Amino acid sequence: MVAAIGAAFVFVLNQLRPSEVSEPPRPGEQKIYLDAPEALIAFAMVGVLAVAIAGVLSVIATRRAVRPLARALQIQRDFVADASHELRTPLAVLDARLQVLQRGLAPDDPSKPAVADLRTDTRILIDVVDDLLLAADPERTEPAEPVSLRDAVTRSLHSLEVLARDAGVELVLGSRDDVRTTVPATTLTRCATALIDNALVHSPAGSSITVDVRLQGDQAVLTVTDDGAGIVGINPTRIFDRFARAHPAAPGRTRAGFGIGLALVRDVATRHGGDVAVTRTGPTGTAIELRLPAG
């Protein structure tokens, strides 16, 4: 078989040799012949060289295109890290002063519950700053211990209760499965707070916001449903883009969002192998669902 293939290859090369090569030149005539196999080899080498040059140029162009993106990401991480670091000390001082105030209050002082809530909010802020510092450092990780999604949602509802009361909106914890996930507790609280706060901004007075926590398959699911007018003025798939905002907010709302909270929720979901999406929107309200791997 090998001999037959070799004989066929030699025959093909021989056929590529023009018959004029065997003819002697006439007097005063000069002939230049280009050997076909050598031409084929030369063309092949030129082709390989062209492909190699194109590959090198593609790599250089790709690096030049990616370099500004990498630089922008690094600037963003540096800003988050610097801002979070600068906030840690003032928050620690504030917490210490609240602790002194709390200890100096009489047991029957009517302001004692309010001071306790202030200190709880301060501790939440400190945890959020620490969580931002952790997120800004991609090489630093914390042990992935399963935490309760229901507990994180309960903390968010408690912290947002004062805003809901002022807005005339009722916060309702519906399904409350004790589902766990490996996402850090502070990160979970940030996500729940962003989703509920977004619903608050778009909920009219007298309406309610329902928060459901359930286990679906191998996923921990958090659903926030409001009774607002739905997402208008923007494609629902774009509300998770940074600085994207739906208009208008609920009537009478003076507090408008900056279009960052939902983007942060999507970043957290993506980083931990989950997803967030609008599952329903219309004149009767909107439902946003966050899915994370159950732990």
User: Which CA distances in Å does 17 have to 9, 103, 110?
Assistant: 13, 104, 108
Question: What's the mean pLDDT in 222-237?
Answer: 89
Largest CA distance in the chain: 128
| Residues of the chain above pLDDT 70, percent | 73
What is the three-class DSSP state of 285? strand
Token representation of residue 60: 């250089």
Instruction: Set out the domains of the chain in order of their start, with CATH numbers.
Output: 39-141 (1.10.287.130), 147-293 (3.30.565.10)
Of residues 68 and 29, the one with the higher pLDDT is 68
For residue 259, pLDDT over 70 is answered with yes
Per-residue pLDDT tens over the stretch 36-46: 566 667 667 77
Residues paired with residue 280 on neighbouring β-strands, in sequence order: 287
Which pTM was predicted?
0.66
For residue 231, pLDDT over 70 is answered with yes
Per-residue pLDDT tens over the stretch 69-122: 767 667 766 766 677 667 777 888 888 888 888 888 888 888 888 888 888 888
Q: Which of 142, 135, 127 is nearest to 76 (CA)?
A: 135
Question: What's the mean pLDDT in 170-177?
Answer: 92
| Residues of the chain above pLDDT 90, percent | 25
Best-predicted range by mean pLDDT (42-51, 53-62, 108-117) = 108-117
For residue 22, pLDDT over 60 is answered with no
For residue 2, pLDDT over 50 is answered with no
For residue 230, pLDDT over 70 is answered with yes
Q: What is the DSSP letter of 178?
A: -
Instruction: Give the model's pLDDT for residue 7.
Output: 55
Helix (H) or strand (E) holding 72: helix 36-104
Q: What is the dihedral of CA 125, 164, 152, 264, to 10 degrees?
A: -60
Handedness of CA 153, 155, 156, 161 (dihedral sign): positive
Question: What's the mean pLDDT in 208-218?
Answer: 94
What ranges in 178-276 are assigned the alpha helix state H? Answer: 185-201, 261-271
Instruction: Give the model's pLDDT for residue 104.
Output: 87
Contact 267, 290 (CB under 8 A): no
